[in-house]
Copies of this chain bind each other. A is one copy, B any other.
Amino acid sequence: MSLSLEPYKGTRDFYPADQFYQNYIFGVWKKVAESFGYLEYNASILEETALYKAKSGEEIVNEQTYTFTDRGGRDVTIRPEMTPTVARMVAQKRKELVFPLRWFSVPNLFRYERPQRGRLREHWQLNVDMFGVESAEADVEIVKVAYGIMKAFGASDEAFEIRINDRRLLNYLLHKHLQLDAEGAHKLSKLVDRMHKMKAEEFLASAREILGEKTKLLEEILYVKSLDELGEKVPQGEGVAELRRVFEALATAGIKNFVFDPTLVRGFDYYTGTVFEIFDTSPVNNRALFGGGRYDDLVGIFGVDKVPGVGFGMGDVTIRDFLETYKLLPEYRPPVDVYICHLEGFLEPAGALAGELRQAGVRVVEDLTARKVSAQVKTADREKIPFVLVVGEEEAKTQKFKLKNLAASQEQELDTAGLIKALKKTRE
């Protein structure tokens, strides 16, 4: 029997050129999160299954998790999302932690589903969360972090749009405006969540099945384009005032590409206030890139006092696809500064030079083979390493080396100190 060479279905191998892009994406995430003072945390990819049963949407727990029994009889799950874990961690040390917390993580997550474009079984996801601030200022900061990441990736304001709603408004609509019972409200919110994947008539027909005559009342709110247009239809205190504060603060911060979107639901049941989504505005690939919102009741499921939270998650698969489409990914370049070749018998002085350069922080590949110099240089070229030098009798004696830039076909003669300076400079 021959062994499979493929990765497990729905997962990816990251060869160095792939990992280069992962590192680029993770690097931008981390840089922006840290620029807002967020601290990195992490946890195990395995959690007891009870954690997910307590809060995730039904579909996720029942059909999409990797759940199994360990050898000691414990029911465990490979995490499908990070929010339950971070809520657990906050609940656990709530008495020692200094609030507000600003935390981020880049966990990998698993869902059992049919792999398709943009949907894999395993993906990495930036999670950014603030705990301990109830006011809309926290929601604003979280949206600013999301916006800051898009800008740090080089996205123009025209390439994406921030759609914002408030769960309190949705709850008002379902329970008070439409006077639905729990089941009806659940059905309708799932329907609204899917509405942009349906034709308008199809959506309205399905809505009519739930609402009958009251469908008109739904349209009154769902189809407005601004808070002003919402006007008197919704009383104060149902999320409208908070939305207004969020919009004003974003405008003050110079952010222009946000809109009020009363149709925005976000799948998870645990949101309690502001919800938002970053939308790709490209006409050929119009879709949500990522999103988040406020969840003030989540930490409370652990039987401790409530801790307000707001945050978002951003997946690597979707954002990489977006960056490729908009040609925003950098060119691949290995994290290597110079490739040192040697003539026969000069491996030792080549190694001594490599050691000195490394001590000074230069990234050096030493060719260890006994091949001809031309073959050694060819390897450097194929590996896209920018500089090469060759150590032979003269170089070993004079300690002067010809540093060659392969792409530019230029070379300069330098001593060791000169090499260090020149090579470190090219990295800036």
Give A contacts to B, CB under 8 Å: 1-9, 11-16, 18-20, 22-23, 34-37, 39-48, 50-51, 54, 63, 66, 68-72, 74, 76, 78, 88-89, 91-93, 97-98, 100, 102-103, 108, 110, 112, 122, 133, 135, 137-138, 141, 148, 249, 252-254, 301-303, 334-336, 339, 347-348, 351, 355, 358, 361-366, 368-370, 379, 382-383, 385
Q: Indicate whether A7 sits within 8 Å of B351 (C-beta atoms), given known contacts A70-B112, A365-B37.
A: no
Shortest beta-carbon contacts, A-B, top 6: A37-B365, A11-B44, A16-B39, A68-B68, A5-B92, A137-B368
Determine the chain B residues whose CB is within 8 A of the CB of A355 once the complex forms.
253-254
A36 to chain B, nearest CB (A): 7
Task: Report yes or no: A36 in contact with B364, Cβ–Cβ below 8 A.
Answer: yes
9 other A-B residue contacts (CB within 8 Å) besides A14-B41, A16-B41, A71-B112? A4-B48, A8-B46, A14-B43, A19-B42, A36-B364, A37-B385, A63-B71, A102-B365, A252-B351
> Who on chain B is nearest to A334 by CB?
B39
A10 to chain B, nearest CB (A): 9
Task: Report yes or no: A364 in contact with B39, Cβ–Cβ below 8 A.
Answer: no
Determine the chain B residues whose CB is within 8 A of the CB of A35 once the complex forms.
358, 361-364
Task: Report yes or no: B363 in contact with A100, Cβ–Cβ below 8 A.
Answer: no
Copies of this polypeptide in the complex: 2
Task: Report yes or no: A44 in contact with B7, Cβ–Cβ below 8 A.
Answer: yes
Q: Indicate whether A13 sits within 8 Å of B133 (C-beta atoms), given known contacts A23-B40, A35-B361, A302-B5.
A: no
Determine the chain B residues whose CB is within 8 A of the CB of A37 once the complex forms.
334, 336, 339, 363-366, 385
Task: Report yes or no: A369 in contact with B133, Cβ–Cβ below 8 A.
Answer: yes
Q: List 13 A-B contacts (CB under 8 A).
A: A2-B303, A3-B50, A7-B44, A7-B47, A8-B46, A8-B47, A16-B39, A36-B364, A36-B365, A37-B385, A39-B335, A45-B45, A71-B112
Task: Report yes or no: A137 in contact with B347, Cβ–Cβ below 8 A.
Answer: yes
Q: How far is the CA of A50 from the CA of B8 in the complex (A)?
A: 11
Q: How far is the CA of A50 from the CA of B70 in the complex (A)?
A: 19
Task: Report yes or no: A43 in contact with B133, Cβ–Cβ below 8 A.
Answer: no
Q: Indicate whether A252 sits within 8 Å of B348 (C-beta atoms), given known contacts A6-B92, A47-B7.
A: yes
